[in-house]
Amino acid sequence: MKKIIILYSIVSLIGFNLIAQEIEIIELDAVEIIPTDELLIYSNFSKKHRENKVNAFGPGIRGKIAVVMGFLNPEKSSIQLDGLEFYFNYEWDQDSSGFYIQPVVVKEEDGMPMASYTDFPEKYLVTSKLKNSLYIDLSTKEISLSPNERVYVGIKFLENVNPKTPDIFNINAISGKILESTYILYSDGSRPQEVVGPGKHSAGLKYSVVYKLKE
């Protein structure tokens, strides 16, 4: 419980200053991912984990821009990321207009996420048709991982479509035995901050990674 409270407190401080520039907007559709011999899915949760609802507040403490969690290539060969799935519990009955996010994929350096990374050029619109999960297609990004290579995946919360709606984003976390650390990334390139480490009684973001084996 202590770990999920810490995660809640840190995520609640996320803030991000949007820069006035033209950014492509992609409205996300509901997607059902069906694994095949070629399309594989890794989920960092199971029935043994407890699910927790976390409120992540928008613009607040400036500079904290994203929460990410480690993903280690589970295969003995190289893989290519095809997409990311995250889970949330947004209160659509209070505002059905939606909100914007950006996915984050960061390489590892010296045992932690790289401090400097490049944002994806698009921002993604989440609407009520998605209900409580979102899938982001990364198949065109050509993100490859070698055997035993780790990256950090997560979400950057941007803003609500309706400017009058408080910037409150609700994400799902898990608690229980967690194998990877959760970090806060900063916009100024400062050293990433580990907020929750791995352990038998830990917490972290709930996610799934869709990938393909590279030939």
Q: What pTM was computed for the model? A: 0.84
In a domain, 21, yes or no: no
CB 170 within 8 A of CB 91: yes
Q: Summarize pLDDT for 128-142 with one digit per residue, the tens.
A: 888 788 999 999 999
In a domain, 128, yes or no: yes
Q: Summarize pLDDT for 60-117 with one digit per residue, the tens.
A: 433 357 889 999 999 999 999 999 999 887 777 777 788 888 899 999 999 999 988 8
Query: What's the CATH code of the domain at 186?
Result: 2.60.120
In a domain, 170, yes or no: yes
| Cα–Cα distance list, 198 to 179, 194, 206, 208 (Å) | 5, 10, 14, 17
| Tokens read off for 40 | 């594989």
Determine the structural domain holding residue 166 and report its residue range.
2-16+42-213
CB 82 within 8 A of CB 33: no
Mean pLDDT, residues 182-208: 89
In a domain, 26, yes or no: no
Q: How many domains does the chain have?
A: 1
In a domain, 163, yes or no: yes
